[in-house]
Amino acid sequence: MKVAYFDYWTGGIHNFALIDSLLKAQGAHTILLHIGSWNDPSMLKQSGVINGIYAEDISVHGTNHIFKVLKKIQPDVVVTLNTNYIMDRVVCLSCRLLKIRTVFMMHGDRVVDDQVIQKLLSKDSQSLWKKTKKASKYLKLTVPNYLNSLWNFDKSRVFNFAWLSILYQTFKHPQSYYPSNKDELIQDKCLVYANKYLNYYHEKIGYELKKIEVIGNPKHERIFSLLANNGFDVAMLPASVQGLVKAQKKYLLYIEDAFVEQQNSAGWTVEFRNDFIRDVATALKLQGYELVIKLHPCTLINTVLAPEEVLVFQKEDVDSLMFFSSGCIGFTSTVLTNCLLLDKPLFTPRWGKELPQIESEFLKKGVANAWMDLKDPVYFSINTAARENFFHEAISVNTTGSCQRICEIILE
């Protein structure tokens, strides 16, 4: 069987790497087809092996039309990471016409709460100027692909001009939380992480419930496996943190969110972040705890100034840092879910008007403790009932086997 992964670039290849070796072990041949050159000209005609997966840019085939490339490479199934956008329509319609099965699998948490979505839509951070700059790429590449797929699939869809409305909606709200003409986006299978996504993909995107399967988050498998096999070891920690553990010094881990680098996080500046780190470190020190920081991958590490005794990391293993900590501090990062899986206390700062009030699902669901004042001690209590509800809705599958189940569905 030939399996084609489709993505907009090569940056998300780690999502496919989670299942690639399992698919190959069962006799599948895999390839990543991407359109990276549409945003990065240096990727033109580029092909090669990345993370063990052979990947090639669409330009390798001498065309920018998805339909033509899929017809040429003739995969048995196409696996995608998105099911909301215009290019997802192109892939989906092309595959239907070519009788190629399609499987959508989530690659990260997605906002599904209507109230939160409305807030995001009202605070669309992309200016008219930025959207206009992107328009040329859409007119040159995305729109011709879309019209070509519509023409090949059903010519009447070109002449009813509904596609103009879709283009306008995408221009207005690029995230496409509530797409119209939803039938163009429906793939043969919709694989979601947890129960909380069922209603969104059923009601808002249009998947029949029988096409949706809750498979868990493949990225959690490592934690489940380590816990089941007592696999966490101090040697997994950076040397400086090993020193803390061996000296029996307690520490809390701050999972940083890159608010400074995100344009829609008003109030967070480099200076504010550095002051925040200093204040937290001082407060914890008075309570007998060291502060260890795990920076977001997008954070510019050279702008982070922390007290000398604070240990700062960016690429080190976050799960082992959590496991040996006394608890975690954080706001919105999805990595904080791992803290809950490891049964650690979770604290979210909420002191005074000087601290920007970041929306926190963890606080809203009662699985994090609000740290209301720097002078207050951190409370290590855990709301067990709230966490059980959270696990049912937001995690749903708490054992290994997600990757294997995904492969079984792909190979059906």
Structure letter (DSSP) for residue 141:
I
Task: Give the predicted TM-score (pTM) of the model.
Answer: 0.90
Give bridge partners of residue 294 from the DSSP assignment.
255, 313
Q: Categorize the per-residue pLDDT at 264 as very low, low, confident or very high, splitting at 50, 70 and 90.
A: low
Q: Torsions phi, psi of 313, nearest 5?
A: -135, 160
Tokens 């699998």 sit at which residue? 105
Q: Residues near 196 by Cβ (< 8 Å), separated by ≥ 6?
A: 112, 393, 394, 396
The tokens for 307 are 């007290």
161 pLDDT band, cuts 50/70/90, is confident
CA distance 105 to 111: 16
Domains in the chain: ranges and CATH: 2-216+399-410 (3.40.50), 233-395 (3.40.50.2000)
Distance CA 184, CA 287 (A): 57
Mean pLDDT, residues 285-313:
96
Question: Rounded distance, CA 76 to CA 80, Å?
Answer: 13
Sign of the torsion angle spanned by Cα atoms 150, 156, 159, 163? negative
The reported pLDDT for the residue numbered 128 is 59
Neighbours of 21 (CB within 10 A): 14
CA dihedral 404, 406, 409, 411 (to 10 degrees): -70
Lowest mean pLDDT of 37-46, 81-90, 161-170, 399-408, name the range: 161-170
* 3-state secondary structure (DSSP) of residue 189: strand
- Cα 133 to Cα 18, 169, 307: the distances in Å are 35, 17, 42
Residue 297 has pLDDT above 60, yes or no: yes
The neighbour count for residue 48, using CB atoms within 10 Å, is 9
Range 352-365 average pLDDT: 79
Q: Which residue has the tokens 């669901």?
A: 365
User: Within 10 A of 175 (CB to CB), how many other CB atoms are there?
Assistant: 16
The pLDDT, as a whole number, for residue 125 is 55
Question: What is the rounded average pLDDT for all residues in the chain?
Answer: 93
> Where does the pLDDT of residue 131 fall: very low under 50, low under 70, confident under 90, or very high at 90 and above?
low
Q: What is the pLDDT of residue 46?
A: 95
CA-CA distances (angstroms) from residue 158 to 89, 148, 182, 311, 316? 14, 9, 16, 58, 51
Distance between start and end Cα atoms, the chain: 10
Phi-psi region for residue 392, left (φ > 0), alpha (ψ -120 to 50) or beta?
A: alpha
How many CB atoms lie under 10 A from the CB of residue 233? 11
Nearest-angstrom CA–CA distance, 53 and 384: 42
Mean pLDDT of 366-386: 94
Residues 6+ apart with CB under 8 A from 7: 13, 16, 32, 34, 80, 81
- Express each pLDDT in 60-99 by its tens digit: 999 999 999 999 999 999 999 999 999 999 999 999 999 9
* pLDDT confidence tier of residue 117, bands split at 50, 70 and 90: confident
359 pLDDT tier (thresholds 50, 70, 90): confident
Q: Which residue has the tokens 């990225």?
A: 219
For residue 358, pLDDT over 80 is answered with no
Average pLDDT, stretch 291-296? 97
Residue 135, pLDDT score: 72
Output the pLDDT for position 171.
84
When pLDDT is averaged across residues 239-260 and rounded to a whole number, the result is: 97
Q: What is the pLDDT of residues 26-50, one digit of tens each?
A: 999 999 999 999 999 999 999 999 9
Among 390, 391, 338, 343, which Cα is nearest to 364's?
A: 390
